[in-house]
Structure formats: structure tokens, C-alpha cells
A and B are shown apart, each in its own frame.
Chain A
Amino acid sequence: GDSVTQMEGPVTLSEEAFLTINCTYTATGYPSLFWYVQYPGEGLQLLLKATKADDKGSNKGFEATYRKETTSFHLEKGSVQVSDSAVYFCALSNFNKFYFGSGTKLNVKP
């Protein structure tokens, strides 16, 4: 069945460091891919999305490229801020069902 695997955390970085959170997926057909972010005590918010191969989703300095050949959708940011501290979920949508990775907690220290 469809599934998402993402790197385990927590990830601890200093402010202005480069961020990569790895995500790979298994799916039939042509899924859409997403990154959601969850701040403490809140629900999930859509961070970015990509709907087809080679699409690049971007938002708030975060980027991820839909790589069908490697079934990956890695999240990157060139310079993280303390305010980026949160839990990040990689997800796919296929036939109106969502599948989530286990989440990666990011801690950014000043």
C-alpha cells in the first residue's frame, strides 16, 4: 500500500544553518505530495505542495522537489530561524486518501 517514510528526529540546528529533512514515498499512480508543519499545541498547516513529477513547491523559504525517479520529496531551507522550530510532516495524497510520515521535530537554537 501507499506509505511515506521520513527521517527521524529530533533535528537540532543553529540559527541560519541549512536544513534538509528527507522524505521518500511508495505509491501507486500519481500522488500529490505535501509538507505540513505543526507548531506546539496547534493543528497541521500546509507548508507546501507539489502535484506532479519535477514540480517544486515553495513557501516561507522552504522548498521541496517532487522526484519521481527517486520517489523523494526532501524539504530544504537555506537559513533556518528560531521561529521554524516545529514538527514537520511529509504526506502524500492518492485517490483522496492521505498518508503521513512519522514527523520530524526541528529545534532551532539562537
Chain B
Amino acid sequence: NAGVTQTPKFQVLKTGQSMTLQCAQDMNHEYMSWYRQDPGMGLRLIHYSVGAGITDQGEVPNGYNVSRSTTEDFPLRLLSAAPSQTSVYFCASSRPTGLYTEAFFGQGTRLTVV
């Protein structure tokens, strides 16, 4: 079972470079989201999607773009990387199952912007 797959696992960027963090899930979940994890701050929601073609902003969306053309994929784009975007990024997918919604997480992408 693949679950949620994120690539790459590690990335170093120079300030101003662009890149796309990939996220794919094989559980047919409608809901997908991106978080960043910074020391002492837990996970903060960047963007989320409730289905193909639908995206919305989370708590910290500035500097990031997303699109959802298929149910399976939810890439996160950094258009012009900044040192403040150095963080660990997690993608998650979920689907309501009656009483609750459980989120499944990828392994994370550790991004360093120099």
C-alpha cells in the first residue's frame, strides 16, 4: 500500500529559484492538504483541496501555489523561494468516514533555501 507519496525527500534551493513538491495518493481521497512544520509551531496549513478542480488557502499561503487537476495529485509550487520557506513540508489526504475524518501523511520533504 503506497498511501501518500511525496517527492523529493530532500531539496536545497537558492533564493529566487522555483520548484514543485509532488504529492500523490492512491486511496481515492477527496481531501488533500499541504502543511509546513517549523520548530515549536506544529503543523500549519498552507493550502488544501476538497476535490479535483477546487483549492483554497490555509493559514500560511503566501509564496505557494497549488492546483488539483486529478483526485490523485496535489503539487505545491514555490514560485520564488525565500529563506523563510526553509521547513519540512507534509502532504496529507483524508476522507470522511462516518463519524470522523482521519488524515494520512506522506513522509515529508525537507527543504532548505540558501
Contacts and interface: CB of A to CB of B under 8 A. Distances in A.
Contacts of B92: 44, 98
- Tell me the dominant secondary structure on chain B's binding face: strand
B76 to A, nearest CB: 15
Interface string B21-42: 0000000000101010000111
Interface stretch (B62-70, B78-86, B94-102): B94-102
B90 A100 contact: no
Contact of B102 (A8, A49, A89): A49
Sort A-B residue pairs by CB-CB distance and give the 8 closest, nearest first: A32-B100, A43-B105, A51-B99, A102-B42, A100-B43, A100-B42, A51-B100, A44-B105
Interface of A: 4, 8, 32, 34, 36, 42-46, 49, 51-52, 89, 91, 93, 96-98, 100-103
